[in-house]
Structure 1
Amino acid sequence: MAGDAHARTGNARDARGEAGERDERVPGNVLVPIGALLLGMLLAALDQTIVSTALPTIVSELGGMEHLSWVVTAYMLASTAATPLWGKLGDQYGRKRLFQTAIVIFLVGSALCGAAQDMSQLIAFRALQGLGGGGLMVLSMAIVGDLVSPRERGRYQGLFGAVFGATSVLGPLLGGLFTQHLSWRWVFYVNLPIGVVALAVIAAFLRIPGKSTRHVIDYLGTFLIASVATCLVLVASLGGTTWGWGSAQIVGLGVLGVVLAVAFVAVERRAAEPVLPLTLFRIRTFTLSAVISFIVGFAMFGAMTYLPTFLQVVHGVSPTMSGVHMLPMVFGLLLSSTLSGQIVSRTGRWKVFPVAGTGVTALGLLLLHQLDERSSTAAMSGCFLVFGLGLGLVMQVLVLIVQNAVSYEDLGVATSGATFFRSIGASFGVAIFGTVFASRLGGKLTDAFQGAQLPPGVSVDALESDPRGIAALPAALRPSALHAYASSITDVFLYAAPVALLGFVLAWFLKEDRLRGSVTAPDVTETLASNPVQRSSYDEVCRALSVLGTREGRREIYREITARAGYDLLPAASWLLLRIKRYGWAEPGVLAERITVPLTVVIEAARQLEERRLAERRGLDLVLTAQGSEVANRLAQAREESLAALLGDWWGPDRPTDLIQLVKDLNAELCGSERERPHDGRAVTRLS
């Protein structure tokens, strides 16, 4: 009787507590602010790709084809340099206000870009936009760690990676649509309503726990590394075009870059928290991966910047359709990234992918060089696909092998370091591609029109600045002009091929160390970001272990710990046993209503516990027997040992306290969150 009454009152409380229990699985109070964070990430990610298909129209209206590359480079340099600074400031002073500040800076930059009247203004405003964009990226992902538990963190951060994946496809298409049907200025104005919505939602709904981490921020190191990168990019973009290679300006920039690099090394050796620890370069795998990442960024973003110009100017494709034509490259990248990541995670073998990836990328560049004004759509799509396949094979694996090569303390900074070099490579590649294109175009147009009578108002200089002038040429001269543009653009791919081949050679020197259990290929979309997202070592391990938050992951971990403990139990029986150990009791029927485990599985697990005399009934509840308590203790120990084994040599004698706490948190969350109440609201009686 007492048990029946007990059950009835429990069921009444269950009805009241059901919504709260479901919120524990999918926390509604978290979904709204995370949606706003996704909007912020969308803004920053979209502006890396949406501009590419609008660039030919922008330079036609504003002039300055030779400065086309700087519209992309200014944004990337500013966001790359600002990223580590935003991360540290967010840790120290709180992320909510800083995130709102980043949105405001980004929106101001967007509005100014849309109103720009010449190329110099647009380039300057793009840099301002990039400063805000760097903050949007790093802070949005860091705030996820403030809002959700360790087990769920990687899953939510995967959503942000998916935003990058979506923008890599949607960016060129949206850029073309806005340019063709509205104006290129809407490429920037579209950010304003999205940003205002994100600001309002963040202000109203984002509640971050009050905590901060004191940092010694490496302002000088951040400034110096940004200055070195800027000097290198200026030399690459202005040398041989605006100024001669032997001119005082170019030589001066080169010398200044070297001096600043020496100063950066000196500062980083003394910095308490260096923006890029020099000790990482003592690890051969990190150094080689950094160089190969630089090469991948060089090839990828250089090509993505100039392929729309080739399609729109040479083949007369509309801005929208130029985005469609580039989809084979994006799909090839996504396909090979996904397959390579799965293969590496299952086999533990990875070296073949950077070797094959750099080789196929070099082949793709050589194929792109073969394109001309007569190439068919099928031929162009095939070349784009090969190029994308090559990039995808190497991009994702580089992040993985860097994580596998470093100690736990350096995991976060090494991960962001790998993508930092890819971002610098992207800036450098776009600048080099621009220099080669501009220097080749003038000479080829001059040769094409040598001895020809050009119409009034049409000159070689005018055609260099505005390709729309080709339409004003006599029909007999247009093919020569188109060929000059085509060969000037495809020549840049020929110049990039040896750089990719250098990556191919370096990839052979990578040492294929055995993968740690916790090092799994990151979600493919997480590797598409060109900017280094500063995440801590703790966050990186949370992402890697977030598979434990899936039903399949939990089933596998319970199967493993049962075997490790030496028992022959169903995975669900082990889980139920540990849940009873934690709460003191469990009512199987009610429990199945509140969680994602099917009722049949819970009932079967409960029956096995009763048959083995590991648990017994008290009314409708199951409680542990003395033997069951002993088995549960052994399973709990095996579960912690299993989690520790995933961390490999990171779980050494000197393991840091945050890693110890992470294992404890995950251990507890595998049978329910620390915040979770028992499934019918009754008081908890622990059986330790």
Structure 2
Amino acid sequence: MNIHKKTNRPFVLISVMLAMFVGAVEATIVSTAMPAIAAELGGFSRYSWIFSSYLLMSTVTVLIYGKLADLFGRKPIFFIGMSIFLIGSILCGFAYTMEQLIVYRLIQGLGAGAVMPIATTIVGDIYSTKERAKIQGYLSSVWGVSAVSGPVIGGLIVQYMDWKYVFWVNVPLGLLAMAGVFFFLQEPVIERKVAIDFKGAALLATSLSIILFWLVEGGQAFDRTSLLSLFLVVFGIGLFTLFIWTERRAADPMMPFAIWKNPVILYANLVSLTTGGIMIGVSSYLPTFVTGVMEQPAIIAGFTLTAMSIGWPIASSVAGHLLIRFGTFKVSFAGGLSLIIGGMLFVLMTGGSGPLWAAFSSFFIGVGMGLTSTAFIVTIQGAVSREHRGSATAANMFMRNFGNTIGAAIFGAVLNGSLLTIFKKKELDYEVNDINLLLTEEARSTLPVFKMEELQHALDGSLQWVYIAVLVFAVISMLLILRIPRGVVQYDDN
């Protein structure tokens, strides 16, 4: 089935990259503006939910959108998802309370679940496997550009305009992406009976929402050992088990488990889960180490993190060429090795190592992410037919998002637990929130020298445990990569 002739591939690629940029830049641009938003709207205690609500909805819906794209075509589902995302973006700018903003971010996330997987699936449809391997470098560059430009755009908007435009800047870009896909992408007519698995979709959305809520809020809104925590875990896992049981009997399941029988897809998705955890561990806590322990300004902390965003697209571009010649195993093995090197450098890092050490460590993690993510997405898309490509792509992205959530919960628990242990062991009368005093030069200047040294020592020691956990995730990733079949995989481009 050749749809390349009628489709203007360069214009579709530009439109897809624009859509991906809108989705990718959302996280960094909003993070930069959040202090200004919290200052105006209040409700600092709900600060984390601005991010969690978006993450929850986009993670929960990604699998559903992937299946709907297989059933009804990429264009209509892409338009629905992008439209919901843009409506949510417009509403976010009109929020007058933190609670309103959380609700509007939920709407934004509901649409965002469609943007990334369907944009990537469209590329899988219009390019052959060999072309796709090379084109992934362009797609991955979107992440690097968004990581560098997001904080700059957000900072300029907050300083010279109003934080509302942080959300509204998405609208013209999203409309341009939609116009490009509408006019230049031609899809084949789907000539099969459509049966929507409503029961599976409902069970999937409900079970994942409960599990993700437990991961995000556990230890904060409620104790992880409480009865409520136990109920959420049992209920969430029970519903997910029922989802699997239902899908195995459905005529046209929301999640076709047959594709997971392919060992390349199985282990690629499992590694995406662990690398998702690594990514959130580095991006969340490296700036804290650089500002709090190394006493560097925020711009230097941003530079150390940007190194990961530079390594990612460079490695991704190289991976496309290596993949055709050496196959999935060797490319992903090289990626796993880079992740372990980066993890080891983080473990060995001390307050006196300097920001360049942190940047090099971050760069190796970026290279590992670029090599593995490109190898996996190209291989997965080539290993399934067009009818299952949307679901297969969405499943891989879901696993990475789920890894982000699991990683955030684990690393947050490790950091807070370690800080409290150190405070208790040394009989220091501090709380976890006292670490905030280390994160700006103004706040540090108000601290007595002995108090600053005690807090820095506690933060340094606690973040070491976080980086040990990151290294463990990297080792697990490598062990899973070793299970991927050797050789160059033969692809099916139907």
TM-score by length of 1: 0.59
> Counterpart in 2 of 1:515?
489
> Counterpart in 2 of 1:369?
347
Deviation track 1:365-421 (CA, whole Å, cap 9, x = no partner) reads: 232233344331221122212222333332222334445655776555334323332
Offset of 1:257 from its aligned partner?
Answer: 1.9
Question: Does the C-alpha gap of structure 1 residues 169 and 206 become closer, same or farther in structure 2, counting only changes over 3 Å?
Answer: closer
Q: Distance in 2 between matches of 1:475 and 1:345?
A: 57
Which segment is superposed worse, 441-450 or 165-174?
A: 441-450
User: Is 1:393 aligned to 2:371, yes or no?
Assistant: yes
Q: Distance in 1 between matches of 2:266 and 2:87?
A: 38
Query: Match of 2:253, SS?
Result: coil
Offset of 1:260 from its aligned partner?
Answer: 1.1
Check the 8 A contact 2:134/2:317 in 1, yes or no.
no
Map residues 12-411 of structure 1 onto 2, 5 A cutoff: 38-51=17-30, 68=48, 71-87=50-66, 89=68, 99-113=78-92, 122-138=101-117, 140=119, 150=126, 162=138, 164-176=140-152, 178-179=154-155, 182=158, 189-196=165-172, 198-199=174-175, 206-207=182-183, 213=190, 215-348=194-327, 350-403=328-381, 410=388
Q: Distance in 2 between matches of 1:192 and 1:175?
A: 16
The percent identity for this pair of structures is 27
Deviation track 1:105-145 (CA, whole Å, cap 9, x = no partner) reads: 32343345456677665554433211122233355566789
Check the 8 A contact 1:49/1:167 in 2, yes or no.
no
Q: Distance in 1 between matches of 2:346 and 2:139?
A: 28
Letter in 1 for 2:252: E
> Counterpart in 2 of 1:654?
none
Check the 8 A contact 2:23/2:115 in 1, yes or no.
yes
Query: Match of 1:270, SS?
Result: coil
Deviation track 1:638-675 (CA, whole Å, cap 9, x = no partner) reads: xxxxxxxxxxxxxxxxxxxxx4xxxxxxxxxxxxxxxx
Query: Match of 1:81, SS?
Result: helix
From 465, 476, 484, the counterpart of 1:502: 476
Q: Distance in 1 between matches of 2:425 and 2:63?
A: 48
Q: Distance in 1 between matches of 2:309 and 2:43?
A: 29
Letter in 2 for 1:360: S
Question: Does the C-alpha gap of structure 1 residues 38 and 364 become closer, same or farther in structure 2, counting only changes over 3 Å?
Answer: closer
Q: Distance in 1 between matches of 2:134 and 2:93?
A: 31
Check the 8 A contact 2:274/2:473 in 1, yes or no.
yes
Which segment is superposed worse, 250-259 or 158-167?
A: 158-167
Query: Match of 2:483, SS?
Result: coil
Check the 8 A contact 1:65/1:464 in 2, yes or no.
no
Q: Distance in 1 between matches of 2:371 and 2:198?
A: 36
Offset of 1:255 from its aligned partner?
Answer: 0.4
From 393, 397, 400, the counterpart of 1:419: 397
> Counterpart in 2 of 1:440?
418
Q: Distance in 2 between matches of 1:281 and 1:145?
A: 19
Question: Does the C-alpha gap of structure 1 residues 379 and 198 become closer, same or farther in structure 2, counting only changes over 3 Å?
Answer: closer
Which segment is superposed worse, 248-257 or 71-80?
A: 71-80
Question: Does the C-alpha gap of structure 1 residues 273 and 73 become closer, same or farther in structure 2, counting only changes over 3 Å?
Answer: farther
- List alignment gaps of at least 5 residues for structure 1: 1-23, 452-458, 520-540, 542-658, 660-688
From 415, 434, 446, the counterpart of 1:463: 434
Offset of 1:245 from its aligned partner?
Answer: 3.2
- List alignment gaps of at least 5 residues for structure 2: none
Letter in 1 for 2:355: T
Check the 8 A contact 1:83/1:138 in 2, yes or no.
yes
Check the 8 A contact 1:441/1:488 in 2, yes or no.
yes
Check the 8 A contact 2:211/2:236 in 1, yes or no.
yes
Query: Match of 1:477, SS?
Result: helix
Check the 8 A contact 2:29/2:154 in 1, yes or no.
no
Check the 8 A contact 1:403/1:415 in 2, yes or no.
yes
Q: Distance in 1 between matches of 2:119 and 2:433?
A: 44
Question: Does the C-alpha gap of structure 1 residues 489 and 352 become closer, same or farther in structure 2, counting only changes over 3 Å?
Answer: same
Q: Distance in 2 between matches of 1:300 and 1:97?
A: 32
> Counterpart in 2 of 1:472?
446
Question: Does the C-alpha gap of structure 1 residues 189 and 513 become closer, same or farther in structure 2, counting only changes over 3 Å?
Answer: same
Check the 8 A contact 1:169/1:327 in 2, yes or no.
no
Question: Does the C-alpha gap of structure 1 residues 80 and 204 become closer, same or farther in structure 2, counting only changes over 3 Å?
Answer: closer
Deviation track 1:147-206 (CA, whole Å, cap 9, x = no partner) reads: xxx569997998797355233343244325634772599677334244136437857994
Offset of 1:251 from its aligned partner?
Answer: 0.9
Deviation track 1:520-572 (CA, whole Å, cap 9, x = no partner) reads: xxxxxxxxxxxxxxxxxxxxx3xxxxxxxxxxxxxxxxxxxxxxxxxxxxxxx
Deviation track 1:447-504 (CA, whole Å, cap 9, x = no partner) reads: 77826xxxxxxx7365367756555333442233334334434432222322322222
Query: Match of 2:200, SS?
Result: helix
Q: Distance in 1 between matches of 2:446 and 2:130?
A: 56
Q: Distance in 2 between matches of 1:171 and 1:190?
A: 15
Letter in 2 for 1:460: E
Check the 8 A contact 2:154/2:166 in 1, yes or no.
no
Question: Does the C-alpha gap of structure 1 residues 224 and 173 become closer, same or farther in structure 2, counting only changes over 3 Å?
Answer: same
Question: Does the C-alpha gap of structure 1 residues 365 and 511 become closer, same or farther in structure 2, counting only changes over 3 Å?
Answer: same
Q: Distance in 2 between matches of 1:91 and 1:353?
A: 29
Which segment is superposed worse, 231-240 or 404-413?
A: 404-413
Query: Match of 1:379, SS?
Result: helix
Check the 8 A contact 1:372/1:483 in 2, yes or no.
no
Q: Distance in 1 between matches of 2:77 and 2:264?
A: 35
More helix by share: 2
Deviation track 1:326-358 (CA, whole Å, cap 9, x = no partner) reads: 23222333333333432231244x423433433
Q: Distance in 2 between matches of 1:87 and 1:434?
A: 30
Check the 8 A contact 1:38/1:163 in 2, yes or no.
yes
Check the 8 A contact 1:446/1:460 in 2, yes or no.
no
Q: Distance in 2 between matches of 1:323 and 1:386?
A: 16
Question: Does the C-alpha gap of structure 1 residues 365 and 117 become closer, same or farther in structure 2, counting only changes over 3 Å?
Answer: farther
Check the 8 A contact 1:168/1:330 in 2, yes or no.
yes
Question: Does the C-alpha gap of structure 1 residues 358 and 143 become closer, same or farther in structure 2, counting only changes over 3 Å?
Answer: closer
Check the 8 A contact 1:67/1:434 in 2, yes or no.
no
Q: Distance in 1 between matches of 2:56 and 2:160?
A: 22
Q: CA RMSD for the aligned pairs?
A: 4.3
Q: Distance in 1 between matches of 2:187 and 2:380?
A: 33
Q: Distance in 2 between matches of 1:345 and 1:153?
A: 9
Check the 8 A contact 2:86/2:170 in 1, yes or no.
no
Q: Distance in 1 between matches of 2:403 and 2:164?
A: 25
How many residue pairs get matched? 483
> Counterpart in 2 of 1:450?
428
Deviation track 1:560-600 (CA, whole Å, cap 9, x = no partner) reads: xxxxxxxxxxxxxxxxxxxxxxxxxxxxxxxxxxxxxxxxx
User: Is 1:430 aligned to 2:408, yes or no?
Assistant: yes
Q: Distance in 1 between matches of 2:181 and 2:369?
A: 39
Structure with max Cα Rg: 1
